[in-house]
């Protein structure tokens, strides 16, 4: 597949969640010899020129490695959901287009990210894939010009995802469009609980043994 990728792309890693169901800081949990956070950074490095890690207030910059420029931003409002983290990432970069990925999506496929960036390059402020009938905000592409509109809504307390989709005139990407980039939908495997982590480790081991 061939994609049109903007000249400067920022990757945003959302690492500000509370990890309540995991019982530990899930971003630093090991999966296949890499932390979940490092896996997210690595996926973004495949498509982005710079990466911004976004954490909750009071947390130091995480220890990760990246061949490109690496920055750190902090949620302006603690425990206010992923939109606040995306906003912090957008405001920390001057890149015209950004791709946001949550650290608990350990199998994000770079070709899916390229597809979302391709759609964003056509002018949509916000591009989000749809999986199992739900928009996947935790793996989405944004144009920098959306930041002021997003901030206005966040400060007004309007943080519902579906309302944001309408307000920002989001482009929804259905499975029939993104399936070639990620045939099994692996990008949307979410690790939120110890059981999820065990399944992800088993899946990774099975794929290596195949």
Burial class for 182, CB neighbours closer than 10 Å (0-12, 13-18, 19+): buried
Strand partners, 204: none
Residue 210's pLDDT band, with cuts at 50, 70 and 90, is very low
| DSSP structure class, residue 68 | S
Mean pLDDT for the chain overall: 87
Q: Residue 195, Cβ neighbours under 10 Å: how many? A: 10
Which segments of the chain does DSSP mark as H helices, in order? Answer: 36-45, 82-91, 110-120, 147-155, 161-167, 175-178, 194-209
Report the C-alpha dihedral over residues 182, 7, 3, 52, rounded to 10 degrees. Answer: 10
pLDDT score of 45 more than 80: yes
Average pLDDT over residues 22-49: 89
Task: Output 67 or 60, whichever has higher pLDDT.
Answer: 67
User: According to the model, what pLDDT value does residue 62 have?
Assistant: 77
User: According to the model, what pLDDT value does residue 34 have?
Assistant: 94
The span from the first CA to the last CA of the chain, in angstroms, equals 25
- Tokens representing residue 72 in the block: 């750190």
In CATH, what is the architecture of 9-209?
A: Alpha-Beta Complex (3.90)
Average pLDDT over residues 155-163: 78
Share above pLDDT 70 across residues of the chain, in percent, rounded to a whole number = 89
User: In angstroms, how far is CA 112 from the centroid of its own chain?
Assistant: 12
User: According to the model, what pLDDT value does residue 161 have?
Assistant: 77
Query: DSSP labels for 64-105?
Result: ---SSEEEEEE-SSTT--HHHHHHHHHHT---SEEEEEETT-
Burial class for 209, CB neighbours closer than 10 Å (0-12, 13-18, 19+): exposed
Task: Return d(Cα 101, Cα 117) in angstroms, integer.
Answer: 13
- Tokens representing residue 119 in the block: 């759609």
User: According to the model, what pLDDT value does residue 107 have?
Assistant: 96
Residue 157's pLDDT band, with cuts at 50, 70 and 90, is confident
pLDDT score of 169 more than 80: yes
For residue 204, give the nearest of 193, 192, 191 by alpha carbon: 191
Task: Return d(Cα 70, Cα 53) in angstroms, integer.
Answer: 8
Residue with tokens 């045939």: 183
User: According to the model, what pLDDT value does residue 209 have?
Assistant: 40
């Amino acid at each position: 597949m061939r994609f049109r990728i903007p000249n400067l792309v920022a990757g945003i890693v959302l690492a500000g969640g509370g990890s309540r169901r995991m019982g530990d800081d899930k971003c630093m949990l090991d999966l296949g010899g890499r932390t979940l956070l490092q896996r997210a950074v690595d996926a973004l490095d495949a498509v982005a020129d710079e990466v911004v890690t976004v954490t909750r207030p009071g947390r130091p910059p995480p220890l990760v490695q990246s061949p490109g420029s690496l920055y750190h931003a902090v949620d302006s409002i603690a425990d206010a959901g992923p939109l606040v983290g995306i906003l912090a990432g957008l405001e920390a970069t001057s890149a015209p287009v950004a791709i946001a990925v949550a650290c608990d999506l350990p199998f994000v496929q770079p070709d899916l990210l390229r597809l979302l960036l391709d759609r964003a390059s056509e002018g949509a402020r916000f591009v989000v894939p749809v999986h199992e009938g739900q928009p996947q905000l935790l793996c989405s592409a944004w144009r920098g010009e959306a930041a002021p509109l997003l901030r206005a809504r966040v400060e007004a307390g309007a943080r519902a995802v579906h309302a944001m989709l309408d307000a920002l005139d989001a482009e929804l990407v259905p499975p029939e469009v993104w399936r070639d980039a990620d045939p099994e939908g692996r990008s949307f495997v979410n690790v939120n609980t110890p059981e999820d982590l065990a399944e992800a480790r088993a899946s990774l081991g099975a794929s290596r043994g195949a």
